[in-house]
Amino acid sequence: MIYVGESLPNPRGWGDDNALINPSLTIARKYQPGDDIGVFHSPEYAHLTSAGRRAYIDWLAEGRSDPKAESGLVLLFFYGLERRLFHEREVSEAPVLVAEVERLLTIYGAQGPFRNHAANFLAAAALLVGKAPGRVEPAPATEWLTEIPLATLLHLGAVLAEGRPLDADDALLWVLGTPEARLRTPGQRCFPELRQVFAARFGGRHPKGLALRTPKRRITATYRAASGSFTAVIPGAHENLPDISGISAPLGELRDLLEASQTDLEAYSRLLGRRPEARGSLEAAVLLPAPLREAATAKAAEETRKVLLPLLEGRALTTIAPRALFSAFGITFDEGAKRPPATVLAQLTQRLDVLGFGFEPDRRYGSEAVAVAADMVLFEAPEGAPVDPERPAFMHAKVTVEVAILAAAADGDVSDQEFDAVIRNARAISGLSPAEALRLEAFTWSLRIRAKGGDALRRLAGLPLEARQAIARSAIAAVLSDGQASRIEVAFLERLYRTLGLPPETVHSALHQGTSTDVRASRTGVHAPAAPGTRQGVALDAERLARIRQETTQVSSLLSGIFADEPEPVAATDDEAPVLAPPAEMAARFSGLDSAHGALLETVLVASELTIVEFETRAKELRLFPEGAIETINDWAFDHYEEPVLEADGDLVIVVEHLRAQLLLEEEK
């Protein structure tokens, strides 16, 4: 299947054919990998170096099967096959030539140019021998296209000839075959997933398929040689098929669908770019867009649930060391860290939500941050028991158990009997949804862990008098929530008052005052007409509820500070705060980012994390809009790292952990 001789006219009309092996040309005695072989965009045997000719002859002699062979040598051989079949029309040799191209595809199919040329060869060869065009599966284009591939034209022409609408694969095949279509990294890297996401989006727009008016123009099958030396028109029955290349109206919508599908896969693609082996894992599955996530997570989730369920040992919830829980998912972080990084914690919460598990403390729902030294509370719940942390009923219930734990810990520890009483009271709180009730119980268990050692009580004693009085009032309201105070509850309040440094003998008067207030506020019946400008009974109730809600919020904030872990010390080499570079220097440090946005990124990088308030303050100092600044910085990061560098985690803005070291290194340079 080669041409050998001193002359073989090129179909273009001048010179010899590219594929001709001329024995009179010298070849090297030996070819060494790395030698210059003289292969250009359109290889020609006569223009190869002597080492290149030796490499080509060796490749032919060894059976044309070396997967490491230069792609130009494969194309050079291919030029001879296409000349034989389509220029010289040796149709009787078609089965042998087709079989050889198919064999080469199995070895060199990853080489973009060859794969596209081979696909056109096979489609045209089928027409030449009278075979009907077969179905073509969508695949990512491996080089810039100048026209819709012949195989795509034939497939879509057959669909239109049958009078049926285009399905999702037909539409994707069409849009990918147009010269204007471009696949970004997510589309190229995650093409199987792209195909599924596109199908889901297409089905939402066109549940019955995309109906097109059959064009009058018919297909002219022209084979354009990969060597560029000839074109061949192939007659046959396919000339009766409609030519879709004359239709353009729906392509704009299809390109939008393609772009949106790629955007859906960006997070998933970034993970696979860093860790290709993650495909098929739960970590990757949870990053897939909604249409794919449920099916993809099913198997991985079941395997992970088998690891988590034994940890519960049949109980509704259990305590577990943070590192042990992270390890169950194969997640690791710095051994010396006192808290898991925000990005690492986000991985855990995302996966637990998908698996149907929740945990406390969970900052998303108003609790403190996870500390490595304190056990977490793990429980099973649909979607991880999401709640609204600012709903008044839930917030008041949390304050109630926080106050109860403080009272129980007045003697330095929370005994089993005391804790059982707190749990019973927590379960008896009405007005909570099942998710809120379950999360409240887990939150109560986490409070017991954090109350150990007396730290919470020491902080409580250091609060201003007004703050301690607010906590006492909240405790009175909690006890009177059912309209009465039992002897045990009175004893609990007396102990709390002593803990707060308030006179315990004032408990009874406070209870009496609280009861009277409740009765006056909630009494119903016939009311005398109100004087003009005065508030009616319902308005009074609303005002009281607003006051209670405000105080509950204040007390909740106070108590969250009481139960919070000690802040981590900030490492420093001297007594001075880190010095930030002037904004004018930022453009040099972060090439492509203007000085103001560079200075803002520098601020977050030095601090590791900023609260939203701190971030907004710094952005305003630099005359930037905070939300727009994050978007601008992340757009810059996509150009440099193919992923965002800043993330909002609850009330914090953080630098993505695995990029932090790289940014600091670049900063030093």
Instruction: Identify the band that residue 598 occupies on the pLDDT scale cut at 50, 70 and 90.
Output: confident
Whether residue 202 has pLDDT greater than 90: yes
- Top-confidence residue, 43 or 422: 43
Whether residue 623 has pLDDT greater than 90: no
The predicted pLDDT at position 599 comes to: 85
C-alpha 603/C-alpha 658 separation (Å) is 18
> Coil, strand or helix: which one is 574?
coil
pLDDT per position as a tens digit, 572-587: 333 433 444 444 444 4
Whether residue 349 has pLDDT greater than 50: yes
The predicted pLDDT at position 329 comes to: 77
Highest average pLDDT, of 211-215, 335-339, 619-623, comes from 211-215
pLDDT per position as a tens digit, 224-247: 999 989 999 888 888 888 989 888
| Alpha-carbon distances, residue 120 vs 89, 137, 154, 376, 525 (angstroms) | 16, 14, 11, 60, 88
Q: Closest by alpha carbon to 450, among 558, 361, 364?
A: 361
The predicted pLDDT at position 589 comes to: 63
The predicted pLDDT at position 190 comes to: 92
The predicted pLDDT at position 587 comes to: 44
The predicted pLDDT at position 264 comes to: 92
The predicted pLDDT at position 521 comes to: 33
Which of 252-261, 317-326, 345-354, 550-559 shows the lowest mean pLDDT across its residues? 550-559
C-alpha 143/C-alpha 115 separation (Å) is 10
C-alpha 211/C-alpha 160 separation (Å) is 9
64 φψ region: left (φ > 0), alpha (ψ -120 to 50), beta (else): left
Q: Closest by alpha carbon to 273, among 601, 658, 620?
A: 658
Highest average pLDDT, of 426-440, 480-494, 616-630, comes from 426-440
CATH class of 583-668: mainly alpha
The predicted pLDDT at position 668 comes to: 46
**Distance between start and end Cα atoms, the chain:** 57
The predicted pLDDT at position 581 comes to: 45
* H/E segment holding residue 597: helix 595-607
The predicted pLDDT at position 324 comes to: 86
Mean per-residue pLDDT for 617-623? 81
The predicted pLDDT at position 539 comes to: 41
Whether residue 129 has pLDDT greater than 90: no
Residue with tokens 């609408």: 165
Highest average pLDDT, of 387-401, 435-449, 466-480, comes from 435-449
Whether residue 520 has pLDDT greater than 60: no
Which of 331-335, 358-362, 375-379, 387-391 shows the lowest mean pLDDT across its residues? 331-335
Q: Closest by alpha carbon to 120, among 94, 153, 89?
A: 153
pLDDT per position as a tens digit, 368-380: 888 888 889 999 8
- Top-confidence residue, 5 or 511: 5
Instruction: Identify the band that residue 63 occupies on the pLDDT scale cut at 50, 70 and 90.
Output: very high
The predicted pLDDT at position 33 comes to: 83
Mean per-residue pLDDT for 66-81? 92
Mean per-residue pLDDT for 217-229? 89
Q: What would the two tokens of residue 583 be?
A: 């904004």
C-alpha 154/C-alpha 242 separation (Å) is 9
The predicted pLDDT at position 487 comes to: 73
Whether residue 525 has pLDDT greater than 70: no
The predicted pLDDT at position 42 comes to: 77
| Alpha-carbon distances, residue 483 vs 81, 430, 486, 631 (angstroms) | 94, 13, 10, 52
DSSP-assigned beta bridge partners for residue 166: 210
Mean per-residue pLDDT for 441-465? 71
- Find the DSSP H helices in 501-573: 507-522, 537-563
- Top-confidence residue, 598 or 543: 598
pLDDT per position as a tens digit, 25-35: 999 999 888 78
Q: Over the chain, what is the mean pLDDT?
A: 79
For the chain, residues classed under CATH 1.10.10 are 583-668
Instruction: Identify the band that residue 542 occupies on the pLDDT scale cut at 50, 70 and 90.
Output: low
Whether residue 526 has pLDDT greater than 50: no
Residue with tokens 């809120």: 436
Mean per-residue pLDDT for 265-276? 88
Residue with tokens 């220029």: 87
- Top-confidence residue, 133 or 22: 22
The predicted pLDDT at position 633 comes to: 86
- Top-confidence residue, 211 or 295: 211
| Alpha-carbon distances, residue 149 vs 118, 568, 604, 611 (angstroms) | 11, 62, 50, 54
pLDDT per position as a tens digit, 144-200: 667 788 888 889 998 999 899 999 999 999 999 888 777 888 998 999 999 999 999
Mean per-residue pLDDT for 209-235? 90
Q: What global pTM score does this model have?
A: 0.51
Highest average pLDDT, of 67-76, 289-298, 463-472, 579-588, comes from 67-76
Instruction: Identify the band that residue 558 occupies on the pLDDT scale cut at 50, 70 and 90.
Output: low
Which of 46-55, 469-478, 600-609 shows the lowest mean pLDDT across its residues? 469-478
10 Å Cβ neighbour count for 40? Answer: 9
Burial of 346 (0-12, 13-18, 19+ CB in 10 A): middle
3 within 8 A of 19, measured Cβ to Cβ: yes
The predicted pLDDT at position 229 comes to: 92
Whether residue 564 has pLDDT greater than 60: no
Percent of the chain whose pLDDT exceeds 90:
26
